[in-house]
């Protein structure tokens, strides 16, 4: 990674210039790209030539100037913001209020993010006036028997058997309802159930309902998204004998089959839909449509045909 020239570098450069070295030679001797040397001499030379002390001073002056001045250094502006914070205004309301109160004065243009940054740096504990000041961020619920996808056996990763599932939820309007979705990794069979809330007990209950009617040979494991709605996963192990694994945070590709299925479901249930207004019959209809759709990776057979053949062999 390139670094700025220091005063010592510039003194070295000045000596090489006096020795009448070419710019290309100087670049090699200083282990710098020649464009760095050309740029340094162009910016920091004057009528008397190149002098290291003056070059260093010019460079530092430019760097100081390139930083934008902090708007909240202005006393009147700070008092305005401080006063409204004490009235429990949010930074967004303060920024918007300025635009209305001072429509033509660019000095009174501060973004909400600038106000948040100022609050964070302030030593006056201004953050206590924010509405969410005392709210602690929630950490995902994880039990002691949480097993990462890294511990999943090779037989699952290679899709060598039937009965290994991937699971997730699709959230509805305002995150108040949704779908539990489960996909069998080898056949692509999809199971979906509607849920009226996203609590863990509800999601796990519906996941159990999705798989309970399947034969034991089709219930080996399930890999869930790393979300709190699956915190009570041990219930699936106790009731159905499933081994449960969790994908790593922000790595949706580790459940690629499930992510693809959720994308297909959005064709029927677009974002913002209220699943409380969707009937169980409609959910079952969509599940049937997708399970009867031919897949190229299955040589254009359907997931239902693949599993029907598998069950007949057993």
Q: Please tell me what DSSP assigns to residue 219.
A: -
End residue of a domain, out of 51, 66, 81: 66
Most confident of 53-57, 81-85, 121-125, 129-133: 53-57
**Pair 242, 299 in one domain:** yes
**Pair 302, 182 in one domain:** yes
Q: Check residue 170 and give its pLDDT.
A: 95
Name the average pLDDT for the chain: 85
End residue of a domain, out of 100, 129, 158: 129
Tell me how far apart the alpha carbons of residues 233 and 222 are, in angstroms, rounded to a whole number: 10
**Pair 245, 115 in one domain:** no
**Pair 101, 230 in one domain:** no
Which is higher by pLDDT, 185 or 311? Answer: 185
Comparing CA positions, the residue from 308, 296, 219, 299 lying closest to residue 260 is 296
Residue 34 lies in a domain: yes
Whether the predicted pLDDT of 69 surpasses 80 = no
Tell me how far apart the alpha carbons of residues 74 and 69 are, in angstroms, rounded to a whole number: 10
Measured CA angle at 140 (ends 136, 145), to 5 deg: 140
**Pair 84, 157 in one domain:** no
User: Which CATH number is 219's domain given?
Assistant: 3.30.420.10
Tell me how far apart the alpha carbons of residues 5 and 38 are, in angstroms, rounded to a whole number: 13
End residue of a domain, out of 17, 39, 66: 66
Residue 180 lies in a domain: yes
196 token code pair: 């009226």
Q: 55 Cβ partners below 8 Å, 6+ apart?
A: 10, 40, 44, 45
Number of H helices, E strands in the chain: 13, 5
**Pair 169, 248 in one domain:** yes
Tell me how far apart the alpha carbons of residues 278 and 263 are, in angstroms, rounded to a whole number: 18
Number of structural domains in the chain: 3
Partners of 243 in beta bridges? 221
**Pair 60, 75 in one domain:** no
Residue 113 lies in a domain: yes
Q: Check residue 137 and give its pLDDT.
A: 43
Whether the predicted pLDDT of 231 surpasses 50 = yes
pTM: 0.56
Looking at residues 272-294, what average pLDDT do you find? 93
Q: How confident is the model at residue 136 (pLDDT cuts 50, 70, 90)?
A: very low
Q: Is the dihedral of CA 156, 158, 161, 167 positive or negative?
A: positive
**Pair 55, 92 in one domain:** no
Indicate the SS3 state at residue 193. Answer: strand
**Pair 62, 75 in one domain:** no
**Pair 224, 254 in one domain:** yes
H or E element that contains 228: none
**Helix ranges (DSSP H) in 154-233:** 154-157, 200-211
Whether the predicted pLDDT of 1 surpasses 50 = no
Residues 19/29, Cβ–Cβ less than 8 Å? no
Q: 166 Cβ partners below 8 Å, 6+ apart?
A: 182, 183, 185, 222, 223, 224, 255, 257, 258
Whether the predicted pLDDT of 286 surpasses 80 = yes
DSSP states of 244-292: EEEPPTT-GGGGHHHHHHHHHHTTTS-TT--GGGS-HHHHHHHHHHHHT
**Pair 250, 179 in one domain:** yes
174 token code pair: 């305002």
**Pair 163, 307 in one domain:** yes
Residue range(s) defining the domain that contains residue 86: 71-129
Residue 260 lies in a domain: yes
Burial of residue 47 (CB within 10 Å: 0-12, 13-18, 19+) is exposed
Residue 140 lies in a domain: no
Residue 134 lies in a domain: no
Q: How confident is the model at residue 291 (pLDDT cuts 50, 70, 90)?
A: very high
Whether the predicted pLDDT of 138 surpasses 70 = no
Q: How confident is the model at residue 88 (pLDDT cuts 50, 70, 90)?
A: confident
Residue 2 lies in a domain: no
Tell me how far apart the alpha carbons of residues 286 and 112 are, in angstroms, rounded to a whole number: 44
Q: Check residue 256 and give its pLDDT.
A: 92
Residue 304 lies in a domain: yes
């Amino acid at each position: 990674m390139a670094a700025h020239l220091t005063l010592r570098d510039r003194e070295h450069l000045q000596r090489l210039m006096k020795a009448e070295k070419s710019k290309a030679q100087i670049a090699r001797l200083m282990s710098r790209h020649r464009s760095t040397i050309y740029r340094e001499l162009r910016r920091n030379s004057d009528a008397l030539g190149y002098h290291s002390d003056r070059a260093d001073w010019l460079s530092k002056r430019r760097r100081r100037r390139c930083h934008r001045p902090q708007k909240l250094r202005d006393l009147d502006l700070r008092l305005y913001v401080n006063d409204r914070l004490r009235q429990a205004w949010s930074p967004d309301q303060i920024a918007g209020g300025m635009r209305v109160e001072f429509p033509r004065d660019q000095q009174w243009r501060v973004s909400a993010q600038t106000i948040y940054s100022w609050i964070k740096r302030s030593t006056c504990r201004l953050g206590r006036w924010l509405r969410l000041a005392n709210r602690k961020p929630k950490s995902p619920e994880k039990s002691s028997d949480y097993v990462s996808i890294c511990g999943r056996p090779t037989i699952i990763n290679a899709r060598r058997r039937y009965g290994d599932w991937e699971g997730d939820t699709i959230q509805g309007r305002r995150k108040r309802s949704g779908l539990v979705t489960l996909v069998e990794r080898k056949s692509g069979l999809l199971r979906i159930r509607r849920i009226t809330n996203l609590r863990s007990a509800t999601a796990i209950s519906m996941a159990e309902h999705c798989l309970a009617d399947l034969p034991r040979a089709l219930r080996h494991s399930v890999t869930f998204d790393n979300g709190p709605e699956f915190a009570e996963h041990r219930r699936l192990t106790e009731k159905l004998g499933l081994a449960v694994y969790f994908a790593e945070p922000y790595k949706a590709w580790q459940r690629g089959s499930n992510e693809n299925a959720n994308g297909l479901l959005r064709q029927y249930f677009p974002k913002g839909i209220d699943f409380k207004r969707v009937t169980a019959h409609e959910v079952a209809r969509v599940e049937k449509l997708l399970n009867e759709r031919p897949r190229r990776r299955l040589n254009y057979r359907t997931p239902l045909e693949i599993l029907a053949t598998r069950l007949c062999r057993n």
